Structure 1
Amino acid sequence: EVGSGDEDDAEVENDEELEEVGSGDEEEKEGDGESKTASFIDKIKNKSAVDEDGDSDSASDSDSDDEAKKKSEQYTKLAKNNMMNSKALSVVATELDSVHSKMPWAETFVIVPPTPLPFGENGDPESNPLDIHDDLKREVAFYNSALEAVNEARPKLEESNIPFTRPDDFFAEMIKTDDHMSNVKDRLIFENKKIEAVAQRKSNKEQKLRVKESHANRLAEKSKRKRDHFQELDDWASSAAKNRGGALRDDVDDYFLNNRYNGSGPGKKRQNSDKKFGFGGKNGRFKQNDRKSMNDLSGFNPRGNFAGGMKKTSKNGSGANRSGKRARDAKRSRS
């Protein structure tokens, strides 16, 4: 028993030593793990501190890349949806066509005008004779298309014995009244006239500018010709002066010296007119007296040349008894 007790004590001591050793190992392991974790965190912090500058520079690029990626994803999703929708629409259209093809025309009333709307097809500029923004032309195109469809549907209705004319006693009001449509028409006409007025004002303004520019060009050309003319005269005068200084004389200089107008007597134009038509009579101041006219008394009449002379009277003296104008008119009317 004593031996067994000693063995038990030894085993207990051994177990305690092993537990102490194990706990020490565990503490050492835990310390090593904590130190490794701290060193790893320090490395991450240092790396993040080093990479802060690079991240700040590339932040905008990464944001733009993210936005582009999001947009591309959205476009891809929309394209897929459109593709799926187009497939579904084509399936539904084929089903409707198959159903309508089996039904008589009177059940569908489907009419396709033979002439398409003249607003262009598949982006072809040659097949776009009308402007889609012109309200009047667009409405006329719609009206013509509807009229063609009606003309095509009338014989089909007659074949199917379907009445399409409105009875005389049937009252059916239109969705839009005539007053409303007339207002719409007036509005469209007003807008069209307004556009034409603006275009006319622009053309008038451009025309005025062109006229002003042409007038300025004409004035500039005239002034240039005038300057050139005077320059030529100055050159000619200087050359003539040089020739005179050198004892030389041009024929043109002789002509002007011999035929220049000195201011005495009539000019060349007056002389040519007198030569062609004759002398036109005396000049002015022919009513003034001179020595000869003052001494000539042959035309003197003492009875008629003075205001104080005797007054002339009629021979029979009936001038004072003449009746008035009304009396004379009445006398003539009675006679």
Structure 2
Amino acid sequence: MSESDFSSDQESNDSDSELQLAFAEGKLSGGLNIQQVAPKVCRNDVEGLKVKLAELKNDLGWLERLDLTNKPAPAQPGTDMVGDEDVHDDFKRELTFYRQAQATVLQGIKQLQKLGVKTKRPEDYFAQMAKSDDHMKMVREKLLEKQVSMERSEKAKKMRELRKYGKKVQHEVLQKRQKEKREMLDAVKKYKKGQKDKLDFLDDKGPPNKKQKTGQKQENHINKKREFKNKKFGFGGQKKRSKMNTAKSSADMSDFNPYVHQKKHGSKSGGKKSNPKKKGPAKRPGKSKRQQMKSKKR
């Protein structure tokens, strides 16, 4: 880069800064920066409009155009016609549109019947949909997704209501129990002080609740198990020295039978009867005799 180029760039920067400073101080006039708006010219080109109308106009039959020009259908009794002052009344304006369409339909059906055109759709009529199957599939998926989300929100709402109801019932049950407990404690205090003759809640058994029924079932089950074990193993307790005689049992002679005693224990003298016919097993000889017997065999 030459020195002349550098000096020209520096001068241009200085001039730009001076212009910006003068513009900020309001010393510069509008000059060429003033935006001028051209005056709007309105033309009524009748001939050009007629030419364009001739280009757009098609000489088609009424069956292709289906255009009608008629007055609205007569108003029903009790309804007023819409005037210029009622143009801002939404209900009357929409009612006028409805009557206009009604009159147009009635006149159009008559003209179609004159031309021999059928105005009722047959039962087997098939019309192709304007939208594609892919688009309708997307619409169906969106509807299903919306339905599922609504069902989930309704289910969550019901669950919240059930939780609130459950908490309310639980709170009422706790309050009822606390009230019964206070009443019972008051009754016990009055009974201790002698203000009451008896405690009513001890006599008032009432129908068994769910917990009482469960407790009764468990108790019956335990009793049956206990009976089975007692029948199988006895009643427990101390087994050692259970058949040991005492002074009372030794002195008790109520069950003594002398005939049975003599039969079991022999003669009255207490000795056992000898039975010569019955012989017991032979006794084993001593060691010395066994050795003599061995030496004889050799």
Shorter-chain TM-score above 0.5: no
Give the TM-score, by structure 2 length.
Answer: 0.32
Q: Which has the higher helix share?
A: 1
